[in-house]
Amino acid sequence: MRFSKFGQRLTCDAGILSLMDDLGSARSEYAGEMMMMGGGNPGHVPEFQDLLRRNLQEICGDLAAFRELVGAYSPPQGDAAFIDALAELLSRQCGWPVGPENICLTNGSQTAFFMLFNLLAGVYPDGSRRKICLPLAPEYIGYADLGLCDDFFVATRPKIERIGDDLFKYHIDFDALEITPDIGAICVSRPTNPTGNVITDSEVQALDRLARTHGVPLIIDNAYGLPFPGMVYAEAAPFWNDNTVVCLSLSKLGLPAVRTGIIVARPEIVRALASMNAIMSLSPGSFGAMVTGKLFASGEVVDLSRNLIGPFYRRKMEKAVAAVRRECAGLPYRIHKPEGAMFLWLWFEGLPLSSLDFYRRLKRRGALVVSGHYFFPGLKEEWRHRQECVRVTYSQNDEDVANGIAIIGREARKAYADS
């Protein structure tokens, strides 16, 4: 069967698809128990899940509330009560001057990126073309296949700060970063998937100035950030103004299955997204908004993020870092300073094989990670560093993560020794 260009673009060779397929089939390729450190699934936080179950039971026990939960479309902008509560919470907690007109819900933030990127980049009515600028590569692989035309992203290689014996941190190279007239928007994830980087407040402010100077919006992907889910282990202030588009999500709070993304932007962008919601899906799902509604109305979601979700992942991060230090001692490795999210980004300097081959070896030994080379969408230049990194997810069982890291250490040691 022949598909349209649109169909082909969304079905063929998508990096994310092959990655997901590969992660999905990994279990069957290894006879023993595979240590799963590849995906982006959040962990199960028992106290949070208990709370959600109670909320859900309460809704199910109240016929009117249950009917609303399953029996009504929300407006295309999203569940109105949730949006009101969220606007209030963001104004109070973060000091952002936002009202309900600044918020749109989407079916997961991934969908929001598809809509936003193609709203702001691609082919314009006058025939000109615009791209999305990713000011710091490595960046989230989920962006890579979202553009509806070729050559959709342009990325800039970072500066590397080496910290102590075994850490490093990427910084935006503002000398190299160029916002040319063909840029439609700047986008950065903060905290960053895959590295756990949290770009500094001054980097955010500098990006904001650049974006304003060039008359393009700055998109901040806050899927792991503040004020929720709060997976931030460094000093960082939440940031928004009317030239910024902040994308939030309920996924990493522990609700990836309900597919709720949240966009905070100027009303013009919110109206555009609501219109796209209506065309693509009539309305965004309201299940997540309703199940968490009370947490947002009371502001409890902020305390939970600060005192439960954030510390849950911080403890996991610290255990994973200790395991890397134990298992990789003596090797030329560095860990990206783990400032947020749920990933360790390991850099094996001078790795004698490609990161993809290293990933395959690890998979054969029972440790599933993600090869680092995927995470450089839009970066045109050759850079050996791309082949020297892997992403390790530490959100799942601590013992499995420690076992998986032991396999990484053993295989890396072997690779260097054999070279």
Q: What is the DSSP string of 266-291?
A: -HHHHHHHHHHHHHHHSS---HHHHH
Local structure of residue 232 (DSSP, 8 states)? B
Contact between 261 and ligand PLP per CB under 6 A? yes
For strand 261-264 and strand 343-348, is the pairing parallel, antiparallel, or unpaired? unpaired
Q: Hey, what amino acid is at 237? A: A
Out of 37, 52, 115, 223, the only residue in the binding site for ligand PLP (CB under 6 A) is 223
Q: Specify the residue, 248 or 367, whose C-beta has the smaller distance to ligand PLP.
A: 248
Local structure of residue 157 (DSSP, 8 states)? P
Q: Specify the residue, 76 or 229, whose C-beta has the smaller distance to ligand PLP.
A: 229
User: Cα 346 from chain centroid?
Assistant: 18
Q: How far apart are CA 225 and CA 232, in angstroms?
A: 6
Q: Specify the residue, 142 or 147, whose C-beta has the smaller distance to ligand PLP.
A: 142
Which three-class secondary structure state does DSSP give residue 48? helix
Contact between 140 and ligand PLP per CB under 6 A? yes
Q: Specify the residue, 261 or 366, whose C-beta has the smaller distance to ligand PLP.
A: 261
Out of 79, 221, 327, 339, the only residue in the binding site for ligand PLP (CB under 6 A) is 221
Q: Specify the residue, 142 or 366, whose C-beta has the smaller distance to ligand PLP.
A: 142
Q: How far apart are CA 82 and CA 287, in angstroms?
A: 11
Q: How far apart are CA 163 and CA 61, in angstroms?
A: 54
As measured in angstroms, the least distance from the Cβ of 314 to ligand PLP is 18
Q: How far apart are CA 188 and CA 95, in angstroms?
A: 21
Q: Specify the residue, 117 or 333, whose C-beta has the smaller distance to ligand PLP.
A: 117
The residue range among 89-97, 102-110, 180-188, 327-335 that interacts with ligand PLP, by the rule CB under 6 A, is 102-110
Q: Hey, what amino acid is at 112? A: A
As measured in angstroms, the least distance from the Cβ of 87 to ligand PLP is 19
Residues numbered 154 to 193 that lie near ligand PLP (CB under 6 A) are: 189, 193
Size of the site for ligand PLP (CB under 6 A): 14
Contact between 249 and ligand PLP per CB under 6 A? yes
Out of 74, 77, 102, 110, the only residue in the binding site for ligand PLP (CB under 6 A) is 110
260's tokens: 């709720």
As measured in angstroms, the least distance from the Cβ of 248 to ligand PLP is 8
Q: What angle do CA 17, 122, 125 make, to 5 degrees?
A: 145
Out of 74, 197, 244, 251, the only residue in the binding site for ligand PLP (CB under 6 A) is 251
The residue range among 48-56, 82-90, 106-114, 316-324 that interacts with ligand PLP, by the rule CB under 6 A, is 106-114
Local structure of residue 74 (DSSP, 8 states)? P
Answer for the pair 191, 88: CB distance below 8 angstroms, yes or no.
Answer: no
From the list 163, 117, 107, 162, the residue with the least C-alpha distance to 139 is 117
Q: Specify the residue, 102 or 110, whose C-beta has the smaller distance to ligand PLP.
A: 110
Compose the 1-40 pattern: x for residues touching ligand PLP by CB under 6 A, - for all others.
Answer: ---------------------------------------x
Contact between 256 and ligand PLP per CB under 6 A? yes
Q: What is the CA radius of gyration of the chain?
A: 21
Contact between 197 and ligand PLP per CB under 6 A? no
Q: Specify the residue, 224 or 333, whose C-beta has the smaller distance to ligand PLP.
A: 224
Q: Specify the residue, 220 or 320, whose C-beta has the smaller distance to ligand PLP.
A: 220
The helix, strand and coil proportions of the chain, stated in percent and rounded to the nearest 5, come to 45, 15, 40
From the list 83, 73, 10, the residue with the least C-alpha distance to 292 is 83
Q: Specify the residue, 100 or 196, whose C-beta has the smaller distance to ligand PLP.
A: 196
From the list 106, 117, 377, 147, the residue with the least C-alpha distance to 251 is 106
Contact between 109 and ligand PLP per CB under 6 A? yes
Which residue has tokens 């990206």?
336
The residue range among 46-54, 103-111, 299-307, 326-334 that interacts with ligand PLP, by the rule CB under 6 A, is 103-111
Q: How far apart are CA 259 and CA 147, in angstroms?
A: 21
Q: How far apart are CA 195 and CA 177, in angstroms?
A: 20
Residue ranges that bind ligand PLP, judged by CB under 6 A: 40, 108-110, 140, 142, 189, 193, 221, 223, 249, 251, 256, 261
